Amino acid sequence: MDEENLSEKVSVHTLLMTFITTALLTFVFNVFIYFLPSKAYCTQSVSVLAFDLMGWPFFTILILGLLKLISPSLQRYMNITKLTYIYIITYAAATFSNFGNPWWWDIGLLLARTVTSETVLIYVPEFVAVPKDAATLLINGCGSIFNIPWDVLLPAMIWHTLISALFIGICIGFASIIRREWVDIERLPFPQVTLAYTSILGLDNVKNRQWTGRTAFILGFIAGFLLEIPISGVNLFPWFPDLYSWRTNTCGPGLHQITIYGQPWNLGFDKDPLTYAIFMLVPLNSLIAMVFYVLVLELALYIAWYTGYYTGIENIGFCGRYWCSPTPYGDPPYYFSAIITGAGLGLFVITILLERHYIVNTLKVAFRKSSAKEEEEPMSYKTAWVIFIIFFIMMVIFLMYTGMSPWVSFVATLTGLITWIVATIIWARLATISTPCFWITPGLIKMLTWPTDIYLPITSTDLALIGPLSRHWIGHRNLAGWGNSFYISIGSYHIGRLTGVHPRNIVKVLTVALFTAVFMGHIMQIVLPGVYGGKIAMTGSPSLVLIMEIESFTSGGFWNVPTRTPISEVAPHLAIGFIFMIVMRYLSTKILWLPDPIAALVAWWWLPPWSAALISGIIKYLVLKIGGSKLYEEQVMPFVGGFVLGVTLEIFMAAMGFYALYSRI
């Protein structure tokens, strides 16, 4: 680490600029996506590139890097420390200005009173789902910020802000406790964060002709830009040749459909080029493990099919083989959704067991005078534990104030914590994560609250809100709800270690940026539809602004997952997954050649990126075999850093094309 960076303290001026910059960027990013034509949401929104990789940080890094190349004075001013802060600021702003947050189902619950039955709405406070007249105004718009009924909408804005802000406190507290173990000792790879670091280094050194990675970085930039054009082209222009079969054979996040009728085969081929680039930063053993566990699932599916199970799956279209019955994920005999739910809980338990000494030591240090161990920490362990515990309690009290029972409020908060600890462990190793709201989140909630029930009628606030909470805030991908707050909290410490910025400075910038972004994002959630009308963002598919019908949303988004049975009926499958993870995770720490079971949590879920893992794994193996880590670090990493910047620039230019050709304004 750079000793100068480590010793430098973040100034009040820097924190003030963090506040102003975060507020401004959150405003701009929300305006950008709100008026973006719907055809561009999936692949040209800039806010999300691939695998829920936030795009705005890379765009900002690119623009600042180009300005540094042009202006020598900016080169002196914009040092690595400031670029680190900019990355954190733009990540925080992007977290609360993408289509999943504060839009989609976040605003969907806000507008729920326009379509939900009154028999359900009696259990939903008006500060959660606003009165029908106010919701109708948000849908139609009133033309002026001064005509918005703030007296009615302000309580709802505060509620929708606090439900995310309180979890931010939990994330910062936990990340500050676990930072040393995950970042300094275990040194988890954090591929998405490392990708940002390689991009920053590439732009910093590209003018230096002596830099060994210069050519690779430039070639990566060109390759990323060119390989992304076929995706943007088919969305922008009806005449553009469909080189990737994007219009006709795409399922989920860029997976090419390979439908073999008469066979239960359910694996596709990844055709988003950025997926392969990201996987070049994933450890080789994790890529091998992912392919191995995908093959285990596919072999198991064929065995079951040949013995009479899942009859009819061979006649279902490709995407339906994942979520339509019969499927090995939600139907007997396998119930893979239940197995990975148990495995996810097993991962949480074995992680706590393996790291128990570290956790206990942080508690011991917290109750003693400050020690040398804490000098390199973002805050004292006592402060970190106090923040974590207080915000956890505040979240429980907040949900109780909303009308939920004490036990369900506690379970929802605990489930959020466990969900994103598990998801962050996966993300920190594999750069991706299967959507928790379809397995571990509802599975754990039902285990602790309604283990023998299914499709209960809504007769309480618990039953009215647990579906929206589980499906969106607690478990719906990192970009929607609580997840990104966990990712950025621990990820910021990782990039700080790489760039030599002291964790105490990181946590100050992080805290100001996150709390500013969540507040500003939810102001925009009211202002934009209030002035212009939510209906302009409801056209096309997908829509940015959704309206939630709570009863059907809860049925499909909570009771249907991870299985369409009471959770108690799949207890054996939960136990199998739990034992599998505990045993294999322990053994894999002792026997290095064993496939890491963490990869199974991605491999045994919908649309696993197995082909990208396979091809990237082969390339990475050959690179390491031929040139070792020197070739990998000096050529491959700069290439990947340039690649993501090229993709980002192309996507932004395509988004501008959508504005020019299909403008909503």
What does DSSP assign to residue 98?
B
Higher per-residue pLDDT: 253 or 366: 366
- The string of pLDDT tens digits covering residues 3-28 is 445 557 899 999 999 999 999 999 99
**Looking at the domain assignment, is residue 657 inside a domain?**
yes
pLDDT score recorded for residue 4: 42
How many domains does one find in the chain?
A: 1
Q: What was the pLDDT predicted at 70? A: 85
- Which is more confidently placed, 124 or 374? 124
Lookup result for tokens 């480590």: 6
DSSP, res 257: P
SS3 251: strand
Tokens 């830009």 label which residue? 225
Residue 581 falls inside a structural domain? no
Is 77 among the domain residues? yes
> In whole angstroms, what is the distance from residue 296 CA to residue 339 CA?
13
H or E element, residue 501 = none
Question: Do 326 and 266 form a contact (C-beta atoms < 8 A)?
Answer: no
Count the neighbouring beta carbons within 10 Å of the beta carbon of residue 389: 12
Q: How far apart are CA 436 and CA 380, in angstroms?
A: 32
Residues 6+ apart with CB under 8 A from 627: 635
The two structure tokens encoding residue 347: 């991962």
pLDDT in tens, 235-275: 999 999 999 999 888 887 788 988 888 999 999 999 999 99
pLDDT at 607: 87
Asked if the structure places residue 621 within a domain, the reply is: no
Phi and psi at residue 545, in whole multiples of 5°?
-100, 120
Under DSSP, the state recorded for 253 is T
Report the interhelical angle of 406-430 vs 284-306 (nearest 10°). 110
Rounded distance, CA 540 to CA 565, Å?
34
- DSSP assignment letter at 500: T
In a domain, residue 169? The reply is yes
**pLDDT the model gives residue 6:** 52
Domain residues for 83? 3-250+509-547+645-662
From CA 419, how far away is CA 417, in angstroms rounded?
6
Q: Is the pLDDT of residue 1 over 50?
A: no
Give me the mean pLDDT over the 605-634 stretch: 96
Tell me what the pLDDT averaged over the chain comes to: 94
pLDDT in tens, 312-334: 999 998 888 888 899 999 999 99
On whether residue 574 sits in a domain, the answer given is no
| 370 confidence band (pLDDT: 50, 70, 90) | low
Assess if residue 223 is contained within a domain. Answer: yes
- Listed range (448-462, 535-549, 646-660) with the worst mean pLDDT: 535-549
**Top-confidence residue, 148 or 9:** 148
Instruction: Flag whether pLDDT at 305 surpasses 80.
Output: yes
pLDDT of residue 5: 53
| The model's pTM | 0.96
The secondary structure element, H or E, covering residue 22 is: helix 12-34
CA atoms of 242 and 165, how far apart (whole Å): 43
Please say whether the beta carbons of 408 and 466 come within 8 A: yes
pLDDT at 213 over 60: yes
DSSP-assigned letters across all residues of 602-657: HHTSSS--HHHHHHHHHHHHHHHHHHHHHHIIIIIHHHHHHHHHHHHHHHHHHHHH
pLDDT score for 602: 96
Cβ proximity of 168 and 518 under 8 Å: yes
- Which residue intervals of 449-482 are DSSP H helices? 461-468
Proportion of the chain in helix, strand, coil states, percent, rounded to 5:
70, 0, 30
Q: Comparing 210 with 8, which gets the higher pLDDT? A: 210
β-partners of residue 101 are: 98
Average pLDDT over residues 139-152: 96
Q: How far from chain centre, in Å, is Cα 515?
A: 18
CA 212 distance to own-chain centroid: 33
Closest listed residue to residue 107, CA positions, set 118, 117, 96: 96
Give the mean pLDDT of 49-59. 91
In a domain? residue 246: yes
Q: Which residue has 């496939």 as its token pair?
A: 595
pLDDT band at 371, cuts 50/70/90?
low
